[in-house]
Amino acid sequence: MPVPISSPAGSACASDTHGRPDIAPHAHAAARALLGDPLTNKGTAFTEAERDVLGLHGLLPPHVGTLDSQIARRRRALEGMADDFHRYAFLRELQDSNEVLFHALVQHDLPRMLPLVYTPTVGEGCERFSEIWRRPRGLFLSYPNRDKIADILADPALDRVKVIVVSDGERILGLGDQGAGGMGIPIGKLALYTACAGIHPAEVLPILLDVGTDNAARRDDPLYVGWRNPRIRGGDYDAFVETFVEAVVERFPNVLLQWEDFAGKNAYDLLERYRGTLLSFNDDIQGTAATATGTLLAAIRHTGVPLTEQRVVLFGAGAAGSGVAEMLVRAMMDEGLSEQAARARLWAVDRDGLILSDIPRLPDQQVKLARDAAEVAGWTLSGSHQIGLLDTVVNVRPTVLIGASGQMGAFGEAVVRAMAAGCERPVIFPLSNPISRAEAHPADLLAWTDGRALVGTGSPFGVEGVTQVNNVYIFPGVGLGAIAAGALAVTDGMFMAAARALGDLGSMGNAAGLLPPIDRLRDVAQHIALVVAHQAVEDGVATLVRSVLTPEHIAGLMWSASYG
């Protein structure tokens, strides 16, 4: 971001009897503050003129660099590191010292940097968050400070905030409860909002709702930076979140809030409770659903089998899996099926086997996915007391297999070969993150299907012909589109429009996969933002008219990292 070539307020220089400008003590403090603020620090890229006026001589080495030379220096440092976790930690420190340089580095090489700032490396980053925490970023709103939330949000430094990503750290990727370490997720997601959707780094705010953790290893770690208490639940939890939402609405009435990595029931409850209160959505439920649906629509162009004729088995029916199911039902209904007929093409398998209507105390989101026990009465079963994934695949003969379970290796050879035996071009998406929780390695899927499978994974595996089905294809564009339209709510229709737009984009020159290459993510976000903004108008939630919502309008909202 540009730094004005002018003296900081109150730092005017006087001249002594030799005509030499004197820098007052408070001017030295202002110069150090300038270098200490990641939003104003330019490091060696401060020009000689800026150093003269701002009192930076001596605080910086004499070399005057450029953004490009700074990027080259950081790239060399990255490549000399032993592993991706240390690269992740290095990039986090860079972000906390120089925002422009960090974002320029990411934007210049998204394929290389995306796995370092987000999945899969962010998983270990969350597990070891307390180990590498150095400087404040975002807000930790802890339960003991529940009466101070409004005061915390009143900080004038937050006046520009347009996008908030918030988590309570309970369901971090497939790793479970990470407590305060879950802050790595909002930080990473917002880095992608900036990289892909061009949201200015001064306009984003990561928040961790620290209500304790049930992860004893975290609580017992002497380095743990969070509140050392078992998780607050029930009415106390609900009241805490209510206090938070009320404070956000009062402080940021037009903000976009993204709920991230909340546990299944809380994820659904919070989405439904607050989607009409403030501009908000849940990326695990809606973003994952739109990404998976869009990728499946792209795959259908290769298989030639219409969506309405697909037989889909979902393994994992938590927030993500259930969200995928509901969007697929809606997509099939849009293409002519009744709701009953659409649901008849989906089979959901969870930890206790195929979800059946006679299973007691099903979570609300699974009730609509349950099959009648009479439907499976004639199935050939392996003899287990549960109808597991293999039994389901053998009897259903699915064309699509989607994993959102966090169960490493769940798509074993027997399951995949059974699927391939009944389908010429099986579509298989092991979506769980990080790599250690993926349902299968894509190389195995290709081997077990004799190369016939169309494979999409949640994490990057570096296997040729495999598509990364990452929510980054959806949420930056949805967020940008909602902001561009001045939307009052994020509707299901806006996510469906995003999914169909992603499917229509196809490979965008990516011969090796179903979706556009990672280095086109800004183009993807801009395209999806336009479609989403137009859908907001159609759904009656936009405050701007369609004629204003042009590609140029969207592009004009997107910041690119430069010193100006």
- What are residue 349's DSSP bridge partners? 315, 354
Superfamily of chain region 111-278: Malic enzyme, N-terminal domain (3.40.50.10380)
Is this model's pTM higher than 0.75 or not?
Answer: yes
Alpha-helix residue ranges (DSSP H) falling in 335-468: 339-343, 364-367, 389-396, 413-421, 442-448
Query: In this predicted structure, what is the pLDDT of residue 22?
Result: 52
φ/ψ (deg, to 5) at 280? -155, 160
Residue 108, CA distances (Å) to 80, 429, 493 in order: 19, 29, 33
Report whether 500 contacts 294 (CB < 8 A): yes
Instruction: Give the whole-angstrom CA distance, residue 47 versus residue 5.
Output: 9
Q: Tell me, letter by letter, the H, E, C secondary structure of 48-90.
A: HHHHHHHCCECCECCCCCCHHHHHHHHHHHHHCCCCHHHHHHH
Catalytically active residues are 118, 189
∠ CA(94), CA(95), CA(96), 5° rounding? 90
Domain ranges (residues) in the chain: 111-278, 286-469, 474-556
- What are residue 282's DSSP bridge partners? 259
Fold topology of 286-469: Rossmann fold (3.40.50)
φ/ψ (deg, to 5) at 361? 55, 45
* The domains spanning 111-278 and 286-469 adopt the same CATH topology: yes
Instruction: Give the whole-angstrom CA distance, residue 456 versus residue 434.
Output: 14
Instruction: Give the whole-angstrom CA distance, residue 218 versus residue 190.
Output: 25
- Per-residue pLDDT of the chain in tens (564 residues, 90 and over written 9): 444 433 333 344 444 444 444 556 678 899 999 999 999 999 999 999 999 999 999 999 999 999 999 999 999 999 999 999 999 999 999 999 999 999 999 999 999 999 999 999 999 999 999 999 999 999 999 999 999 999 999 999 999 999 999 999 999 998 999 999 999 999 999 999 999 999 999 999 999 999 999 999 999 999 999 999 999 999 999 999 999 999 999 999 999 999 999 998 899 999 999 999 999 999 999 999 999 999 999 999 999 999 999 999 999 999 999 999 999 999 999 999 999 999 999 999 998 899 999 999 898 889 999 999 999 988 989 876 789 999 999 999 999 999 999 999 999 999 999 999 999 999 999 999 889 999 999 999 999 999 999 999 998 998 988 999 999 999 999 999 999 999 999 999 999 999 999 999 976 766 568 999 999 999 999 999 999 999 999 999 999 999 999 999 999 999 999 997
Report whether 130 contacts 224 (CB < 8 A): yes
Report which of 303, 249, 301, 256 is spatially closest to residue 282, judged by C-alpha positions: 256
Report whether 411 contacts 403 (CB < 8 A): yes
Residue type, 42: K
Query: In this predicted structure, what is the pLDDT of residue 564?
Result: 78
Number of other residues whose CB lies within 10 A of the CB of residue 547 = 8
Residue type, 351: R
Instruction: Give the whole-angstrom CA distance, residue 490 versus residue 533.
Output: 10
DSSP conformation class of 284: I
Residue type, 433: N
